[in-house]
């Protein structure tokens, strides 16, 4: 596949366990993540360094272990989009007419302990609020939403330290 072609992409299954209390939502895995078959697989994406700072999940650990450690900490990770066509990795290049969203109605029934939804950036929030929230808000009125700064290397206006500080709200939200 040439990177300058508009290509169809399918997202990943969620990282989730029965103990999940928090859901972190992205839009759609980027090219590097799709090639690696890993959430946040781009080496300059700040997601795993942030998880290291918040939960001690070492970015250098192998991916299955990192995913397991997220689950053990009550964190679920998924994307709003199940399938789309996109040129490259930028959310701005998603062909909106091609978007098929994941089934969050089934997801929130299956994982009822999730009460906090954090968006990894503005694009994930916009996509969710446009395509999903109107149909879900009456069914799941207890869900609380918050947008966090994107961990994408394309979102370079904040330093890693500033992103970590913003993302600390996830850990704080998990204190009973």
Residues designated catalytic: 45
Cα 40 to Cα 45, 65, 139, distances in angstroms: 6, 14, 30
Give me 16's structure tokens.
Answer: 């989730």
Nearest Cα residue to 80 out of 138, 139, 167, 11 = 11
CB atoms within 10 A of CB 30: 23
Contact status, residue 79 vs residue 26, Cβ threshold 8 Å: yes
Angstrom distance (rounded) from CA 70 to CA 66: 6
| Residue ranges of E strands in the chain | 6-10, 22-26, 75-79, 81-87, 100-101, 116-120, 144-148
């Amino acid at each position: 596949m040439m990177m300058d072609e508009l290509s169809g992409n399918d997202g990943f299954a969620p990282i989730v366990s029965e103990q999940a209390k928090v859901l972190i939502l992205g839009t759609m895995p980027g090219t590097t993540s799709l090639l690696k078959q890993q959430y946040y697989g781009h080496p300059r994406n700040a997601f795993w360094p942030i998880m290291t700072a918040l939960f001690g999940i070492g970015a250098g650990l192998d991916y299955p272990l990192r995913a397991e450690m997220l689950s053990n900490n009550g964190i679920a990770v998924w994307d709003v989009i199940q399938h789309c066509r996109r040129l490259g990795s930028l959310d701005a290049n998603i062909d909106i007419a091609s978007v098929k969203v994941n089934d969050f109605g089934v997801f929130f029934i299956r994982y009822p302990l999730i009460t906090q939804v954090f968006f990894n950036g503005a694009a994930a929030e916009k996509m969710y609020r446009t395509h999903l929230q109107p149909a879900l808000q009456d069914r799941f009125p207890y869900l609380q939403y918050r947008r966090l700064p994107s961990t994408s290397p394309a979102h370079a206006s904040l330093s890693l330290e500033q992103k970590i500080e913003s993302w600390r709200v996830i850990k704080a939200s998990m204190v009973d």
